A and B are shown apart, each in its own frame.
Chain A
Amino acid sequence: MKAQKFWPWLIVTLGAAYFLIPLLATFIFSLRMRRNEYTFDAYVSVFSDPKFYATFGYSLSVGVFTIIVGIFVVVPAVYFVRLRMPWLRPFMEFVTLLPLVIPALVLVYGYVRLYGSSSLIPFTGSILGTDILLTCAYVMLAMPYMYRAVDNGMRTIDIGTLTEAAQIMGASQVQIIGNIILPNILVAILSGAFLTFAIVIGEFTIASLLNRPAFGPYLVGIGTNRAYEPAALAIISFIITWGAMGMINVLGRFAPRTSARTD
């Protein structure tokens, strides 16, 4: 029995060392801003920078819009394809797999070329337009995760029966989606939303290439100019990511356990 447990423990211990040492080292490093003393000075410095709040607030609001647009794009599509147009499913699977295949950097290159200020749809011609383009780019970036979350959510409820029942009661299509389907897959949607949030909040590539004052480009700027603040920001980012993932875990406990009669 002992020998059987030796290898698992060794592997897990080595793995834990690889994952925990950088976190611990970063945390201790972030406390050493002042010589020969452990202080939270680096954190004070981060939290007293108005640009921290400005960029974080910007990314936060783009994240919220990304989630809202993502829900509007994904939920009705998944619902109707599951219910009436199953032949479109392979297309949806393909589309939602593509953002994992085509690097975001390549897509944003396409956007810049296609939607430049002198093009037919000049997204990047105005600040509002660029913000919209950034939001849409993030919706695409988070699409694989949002789609899978919503699709899993709909698999666990019997949307066919729910829809028929609602129709017999005289509900309209909008009512069915808004009042019946949405509340039933709320947990799944929120999981997708928090995952989207975790992806968007520190995103660097697209935001920096579209020249928007987001949190990711701000982080890179701090990284080139400061020594201890980046370590503090890494810890803060880790806590934010932990928070978003923790929310998904907590929400998972509220997910409906009944499975659909038909799939």
Chain B
Amino acid sequence: MSASNANRRIHWDSLAVFPFVLFAVMFLFLPTLSLLGAAFTDREGNFTFENIADLFTDQIMAAYWISIRVSGASAILGALIGLAITLAIIRGKLPAGFRSAVMTFSGVASNFAGVPLAFAFIASIGRIGLVTIILRDVFGFDLYRAGFSLFSFWGLTLTYLYFQIPLMMLTIAPAIDGLKKEWNEAAQTLGASPWQFWRYVGLPILWPSFLGTLSLLFANAFGAIATAWALTGSNLNIVTVLLYNQIRGDALQNPGLGAALAVGMILITSFANVIYLVVAARAERWMK
């Protein structure tokens, strides 16, 4: 191979990868770096820690805290329930064909997020939702008088579960498929009860995938806004709604503070995903 040929090949290769790199730089790295810079810059353009310090006000901390709680609750519940349903479907000896129907539905439900999802829950268990009315008129149970509200922590968590559970099911199913039948048989031959099999074999193997998906679910809920916005308008003080209002019209009246708010969000979701990466690396070593 001549030198010019090799040169042309390198030229071609980089040309093909160039759009991808350009996209990553323009629409991922630069915007993030620009926010990072703005978070440490005051109005006059000087370096400052002021914006970061200003994050520690009651309103902003409350917003972060509600977001973390909703994301944490919907991730943990979604992961546990999703795991239970997937185990029931794959290992529960249910009729054949059942699995593909449920998995197809999961694909749809995990993408049925955002505004339409909020509408569906308003129509179901909103103040005049069908389920609310039926519970009140037929069973004499008034959800809202009992303290429930769709526009609260539990309301939002219940709604988020609609896409969190299917997402868990889709990501954990391959890991459950990886549990070989032979392991179960070997455990049984050695006299293990089903409980012992799961306690000492099944769950320890699923654990890394479970934790990994958990952090994915957390980030997924933490960055979500459309559902919350359509459900509650700007009523619920979660961090995405706060940031949305900041981008719309500088609600915090300080662009630097807005950037600091965004950087704080990245820090929190990265933390969740660093755990995911560490755990995933460990899981891969395990599976070999």
Q: Which of chain A's residues have a CB closer than 8 A to the CB of B111?
A: 195, 198-199, 241, 244-245
Main secondary structure of the interface of B (DSSP, over half): helix
Flag if B20 contacts A74 (CB, 8 Å): yes
A25, B131: Cβ atoms closer than 8 Å: yes
**Closest chain B residue, CB of each to CB of A216:** B115
**Interface mask (B16-32 → A, CB under 8 Å = 1, otherwise 0):** 11011001101110111
Which residues of chain B from 238 to 274 have any CB-CB distance to chain A below 8 Å in the complex?
Answer: 240, 243-244, 246-248, 255, 258-259, 262, 265-266, 269-270, 273
Contact of A248 among B89, B107, B125, B244 (CB under 8 A): B107
- A18, B78: Cα distance in complex, Å: 12
Chain A 234-263, CB-CB to B under 8 Å as 1, else 0, gives 100110011011101100000000000000
Give the A-B contact count at a CB cut-off of 8 A.
Answer: 250
Closest residue of B by beta carbon distance from A22: B124
Interface footprint category on B: 35 or more
Is A166's CB within 8 Å of the partner chain B?
no
Whole-angstrom CA separation of A102 from B24 in the bound complex:
13
B55 at the interface (CB under 8 A from A): no
Determine if B89 and A8 form an interchain contact, defined as CB atoms under 8 angstroms apart: yes
Per the 8 Å Cβ criterion, residues 20-52 of A in contact with B are 21-23, 25-26, 28-30
Minimum CB–CB distance for B127 against chain A, Å: 11
Question: B92: CB under 8 A from chain A?
Answer: yes
**Cβ A245 vs Cβ B17 within 8 A:** no
Is B124 a contact of A25 with CB atoms below 8 Å?
yes
A85–B38 Cα distance when bound, in Å, is: 35
When the two chains form their complex, are residues B85 and A137 in contact, meaning their CB atoms are under 8 A apart?
no
Are B119 and A26 touching (Cβ within 8 A)? yes
Query: Which residues on the B side are within 8 Å of A100 (C-beta)?
Result: 216, 219-220, 273
> Quick check: is A223 within 8 A (CB to CB) of the other chain?
yes
Q: A29 — which chain B residues lie within 8 A by C-beta?
A: 123-124, 129-130
B122 near A230 (CB under 8 angstroms)? yes
Given contacts A25-B130, A109-B262, contact A30 B112 (CB under 8 A): no
Pick the contact of B34: A110, A205, A233 (CB < 8 A): A110
With contact pairs A23-B120, A95-B24, A109-B35 given, residues A238 and B112 touching in the complex (Cβ less than 8 Å): yes
The 8 residue pairs across chains A and B that have the minimum distance between CB atoms: A110-B31, A8-B92, A103-B223, A77-B20, A237-B116, A76-B16, A8-B88, A234-B119
Interface residues of B (CB under 8 A from A): 9, 12-13, 16-17, 19-20, 23-24, 26-28, 30-32, 34-35, 38, 81, 84-85, 87-89, 91-94, 102, 104-105, 107-109, 111-112, 114-125, 128-131, 161-162, 165, 216, 219-220, 222-226, 229-230, 233, 240, 243-244, 246-248, 255, 258-259, 262, 265-266, 269-270, 273
